[in-house]
Amino acid sequence: MQRNATTQHPILLVHGLFGFASIGKLELFHGVKQALRNAGTQVFIPYLSATHCNEVRGEQLLAQIDLVLTRTGASKVNLIGHSQGALAARYAAAKAPQNVASVTSVSGPNHGSELADCLRKALTPGHLPEQVAVAVSTLFVEFLSFISGSPKIPQNAVAALNALTTEGVGAFNAKYPQGLPSTWGGNGEEQVNGVRYYSWSGTLQGSLLDEGLHTLDPLHGFCRGFSRFFTRETEQNDGMVGRFSSHLGTVLRSDYPMDHLDAINQTAGLVRKDIDPIELFVRHAERLKSVGL
């Protein structure tokens, strides 16, 4: 049966760290854009710096929101940000609430990432390990830009890492607290300055042996490995972001059985039987439609 998720305002899918719109037939939000369009939604994917701080990426997003509003004649947009994309979306909504109808965080590090904390400690500023990491990440980003045909825009791997640590996001939150919970693990205000805030995320569950074919997914293997660096949210994380760190606004659910990249359907073709990431996006578009957004 044909779904009806014709939102009043266009949806922008905002990518996170090392993100891109598409490389050939590979889309970062794999299958999500097409599913939303099939359900009647206008969808755009803005291109932001693959590595940079939240404020720089947020300013880039604001400029592209203006382009979408001009192109479509819409008065506002709905922002759905994955990972660091959630922070760029929050920045845009805080700076220009008149242009944003809603912000939805999907596995966003809204209170920082313990993985980023560990990387920051391991990479001593100005020393060889950090310099090597910066060089490698820069080459990787340049390669992504080349094969995806994306425009060249500023990149800064160190700024990106600092922006994702608990300390870095804490400083960001002090300036842009809209939608944040007042208590750890709770819900935030659903509506601030006319902008509605939502979030959802997942956690790694069981052991690798419980995953079936998902065990063969290399991306899932990386997330399982990264999860060992979490101490505050041990066994309550998706490999890159802690469950309660992801909370923003109305928390739809924060323990879906999925890792950080499952959330955007990046599963190397090995989709779990008990979760459909695309369905979560379509269902949310229907939710936004139901409240007039």
Structural tokens at position 207: 């052991």
Active site residues: 83, 238, 260
Instruction: Specify whether the CB–CB gap between 101 and 78 falls below 8 A.
Output: yes
The whole-angstrom separation of Cα 227 and Cα 239 is 4
Q: What are phi and psi of 16, to 5 degrees?
A: -105, -150
Q: Residue 113, CB half-sphere, CA atoms under 13 Å: how many?
A: 27
Distance in angstroms (rounded) separating the CA atoms of residues 133 and 149: 24
Pairing of strands 191-192, 195-203: antiparallel
What are the backbone dihedrals phi and psi of residue 194, each rounded to the nearest 5 degrees, phi first? Answer: 85, 0
- Tokens for 141, please give them: 């980003």
Cβ atoms of residues 202 and 227 within 8 Å: no
How is residue 17 written in tokens? Answer: 């760290």
Any idea of the CA torsion for 87, 92, 94, 96, to the nearest 10 degrees?
Answer: -170
| Residue 215 burial (C-beta neighbours within 10 Å; 0-12, 13-18, 19+) | middle
